[in-house]
Amino acid sequence: MEFNSPKGAEGGSYDCLNSNGEESERYCMANYTLKAIIENFEAMLVEMPFNKVTVSALVKRCEISSNTFYYHFRDIYELLERWIAIKVDKYINLDSENWDWAESLKTMLKAMQANSKIIYHIWDAISKESLERFVFGSVQDWFCEATKKHLSDTKIPDQFMQAIAEFYCYSILGFVLKFLWDHMRADVDQSVDWLSNVFEGVSDYIIMNQVKAFDPNIAENL
């Protein structure tokens, strides 16, 4: 969650290639303006709670019009979702064969500790239902993929893998909530290692005792 220097929408340079690899002045300006909005939004989150950030103040800071903001985002909440997605994507890479959810979670939580002011400016201003929707809208997909990789040599139905992923999500949600309630003072490495061991033991127990009917050789594959 490194912080970038906020910039206005005038001056500077960003990548001006469109999706076809062609240079486009319009695309360049839209891309630059989008980054300016996100960077200035982040800077404002350092200074004030999320519920105090307004579109009018943000566009003034970015030196753009309100219409330009609404070209990119439906409202300030969609901007927050985009900002969170950008930060999370830095730590999640399911395309990598060596992706390790525990190490990714450690890195993310340590980044949260290093930027506690901005975290609590968001946490204190949004509903907990929003956090739940995020966890089950994004994290569940990650753990579903991790479960599939763990059970790649078995014949377990996707529906059962989804159920295991949901178990992971409920656990992660509770873990993160407690982490925030405790003011992020926990030892991240120790806490995540403990959670990983619990996941490993519980998931293997569930699989060994509940899914033998799907694959008689499952015990040999774990």
The string of pLDDT tens digits covering residues 141-182 is 777 777 666 666 666 677 777 777 788 878 888 898 899 999
- Residue 80 and residue 115 share a domain: no
Cα separations in angstroms, 141 against 40, 81, 92, 134: 30, 17, 11, 11
Residue 11 — pLDDT band, cuts 50, 70, 90?
A: very low
Q: Are residues 19 and 101 in the same domain?
A: no
Cβ-proximal residues to 185 (8 Å cutoff; 6+ apart), any chain: none
Based on the fold, state whether residues 59 and 6 are members of the same structural domain. yes
Which of 75, 90, 105 corresponds to the end of one domain? 90
Question: DSSP readout, 73-135?
Answer: -SSHHHHHHHHHHHHHHTT--TTSTT--HHHHHHHHHHHHHHTHHHHHHHHTTS-HHHHHHHI
Contact in structure between 46 and 119 (CB atoms under 8 Å): no
Q: Are residues 121 and 211 in the same domain?
A: yes
For residues 167 and 80, state if they share a domain: no
pTM of whole model > 0.85? no
Whole domain around residue 25: which residue ranges?
1-90
The count of structural domains within the chain is: 2
**pLDDT bucket at 135, cuts 50 / 70 / 90:** low
Q: Using pLDDT thresholds of 50, 70 and 90, give the confidence band for residue 184.
A: very high
- Domain boundary among the residues 45, 67, 90 is at 90
Segment 63-74 shows an average pLDDT of 94
Tens digit of pLDDT for each residue in 18-52?
A: 455 545 555 566 788 999 999 999 999 999 999 99
Which domain-ending residue is among 67, 90, 113? 90
